[in-house]
Amino acid sequence: MADTANFLETVNKGYTFKGESFKLGCAMLDGNVVEGADVLIPFRTLNRHGLIAGATGTGKTKTLQILAEGLSDASIPVLLMDIKGDLSGIAAAGAANDKINERSQKLNIEFKPSAYPAELLTLSDEKGVRLRATVSEFGPVLLSKILGLNDTQGGFVAMIFKYCDDNKLPLLDLKDFIKVLQYVSDEGKEELEKIYGKISTTSTGTILRKVIELQQQGADVFFGEKSFEVDDLMRINDDGRGMVSILRVTDLQDRPKLFSTFMLQLLAELYATCPEEGDLDKPKLVMFIDEAHLIFQEASEALLQQIETIIKLIRSKGIGIYFCTQNPMDVPASVLSQLGLKVQHALRAFTANDRKTIKKTAENYPESTFYKAEDLLTQLGIGEAFVTLLNEKGIPTPLVHCMLRAPQSRMDILSEAEIDQLVSSSKITKKYNEVIDNKSAYEILTEKLKEAAERKEEEKPKKESTKKEKGFFDDPVVKSMTRTAGNTIVRTLLGVLGLGGRSRKKSLF
């Protein structure tokens, strides 16, 4: 009993905050919920990023859904990266059942089925608002990092961007970039070398192959117009709740390079667009990245450094980023160290490597006199997790075994009819789904080369007509024939007159 009282005091002291907060669930001790041991999450610290981890089927996605609901209710916009395609149900009201009612009773929470204001987004041809970005918006540095170029090749890409800026050649999609690459390595090579220096055909060939590799992962559908404006991710609904933007990227599971490309561009755009905010009472936007290992799976060292830098700095813009993955080790240590809130669901120990991972994971959490984390990690039930976060002073809260509340929205996906209805009622679908193909570098250079070819064709008839104007007898062959005929006639006449060359050899007597 003394342990329970001590435990309750520790939890209440560690999870009581001055500002607004959200009840995630209740702390457990020896497998039982301790009444009054509420686990609260302060909105003020949610820009300090976080991690939701655990084995398949332990409730990670539902935890993500719960957090998104709490944020939306607090007028905080949310962006969900829906890799598995199971988050669309947040747009529909959930339904109570015996398990939900029992859990709500234990946690002393009233279950209120609720549909949340949602927007479906897509990077491909799936239903939803199309997200695009132009090549120019990426810039030479970011594009070089994505393509994995060395310093020499990156310098060449910077030169291409400079040339396009100087000559008003908009780089909107990959088709434009490829056309410029081909032009500067062939017809335009002499022109560029006069202004910008020597051009290596080896570099252009390497860059072209890297761009084609990106195209093979479907990047063509992402690059182009109309560019998505990040302000549209930060909308508040008419009823005062934050919009939940669900980016459906189920078709990118086998294209990690495209996914990491999009993520890096989005983070860079958010960082460049949003002003410095300092410490806010609540974040301006919270982003959840499901199956986060896809970002880091094929990322180069340069790309990882870029992601780490942006994550360190973007919190000052009032933006929080949360990674959801099966194993905490999927996230690089440099990024993991930046994550303030950690929700760790159960891990499974099937192999010796699994046991090593569990031991290492347990060491990442604050020490506790109430739990042996290494053992309990394999025994957590579905909808239960270890929780720790940063308080308002930036100090980690005590580690608690928490029973999480149930989502109030649907714990299943929307039907096709419901998706159609959601997309048709969207206020921004028309803004972004119209296909735009403005005149850009591809069209301008194609026109330029066509005009050059036409000028060459026009010059040919002029040369031919000049030859014809000289007349029949100006032709060298005709002249030669004329001379031969003339000489023959002269020699014949002289012979008749007895003045031919040979007649002189005859005797005059």
More confident residue, 455 or 460: 455
pLDDT of the residue at 488: 53
pLDDT of the residue at 494: 41
> Is 323's pLDDT higher than 50?
yes
Comparing C-alpha atoms, which of 347, 343, 341, 370 is closest to residue 360?
Answer: 347
pLDDT of the residue at 503: 42
- What does the pLDDT look like over 124-146, one tens digit per residue? 778 889 888 889 888 898 888 88
Decide: 253 and 293 in contact? Cβ < 8 Å.
no
Decide: 133 and 139 in contact? Cβ < 8 Å.
no
For residues 22 and 14, give the distance between their C-alpha atoms in angstroms, rounded to a whole number: 14
For residues 324 and 50, give the distance between their C-alpha atoms in angstroms, rounded to a whole number: 9
pLDDT of the residue at 490: 43
Please report, rounded to a whole number, the percentage of residues in the chain having pLDDT higher than 70. 88
The model's confidence at residue 76, banded by pLDDT at 50, 70 and 90, is very high
The model's confidence at residue 382, banded by pLDDT at 50, 70 and 90, is very high
Over range 167-175, report the average pLDDT: 90
Phi, psi of 90 (to 5 degrees): -65, -20
3-state SS assignment for residue 201: helix
For residues 226 and 130, give the distance between their C-alpha atoms in angstroms, rounded to a whole number: 9
**Running DSSP on this structure, what letter comes out for residue 409?**
B
Average the pLDDT over each of 39-53, 84-98, 245-259, 416-430 and give the range with the smallest value: 245-259
Over range 40-54, report the average pLDDT: 93
Over range 77-105, report the average pLDDT: 93
In the predicted model, what is the mean pLDDT of the chain?
Answer: 84
CA distances from 112 to 98, 238, 383, 473 (A): 14, 20, 18, 104
Identify any residues that bridge with 23 across adjacent strands, giving them in sequence order: 40
Question: Which residue is associated with the tokens 């000559």?
Answer: 167
Please report, rounded to a whole number, the percentage of residues in the chain having pLDDT higher than 90. 39
More confident residue, 196 or 495: 196
More confident residue, 263 or 509: 263
More confident residue, 123 or 176: 176
Decide: 140 and 161 in contact? Cβ < 8 Å.
yes
* Domain layout of the chain by residue ranges: 45-126+236-433, 135-222+439-447, 476-500
For residues 52 and 339, give the distance between their C-alpha atoms in angstroms, rounded to a whole number: 10
The pTM of the whole model exceeds 0.85: no
pLDDT of the residue at 360: 85
Name the class of domain 45-126+236-433. Answer: alpha beta
> Is 293's pLDDT higher than 90?
no
pLDDT of the residue at 465: 56
Over range 361-370, report the average pLDDT: 87
Question: Which residue is associated with the tokens 């020896």?
Answer: 30
pLDDT of the residue at 484: 53
pLDDT of the residue at 508: 35
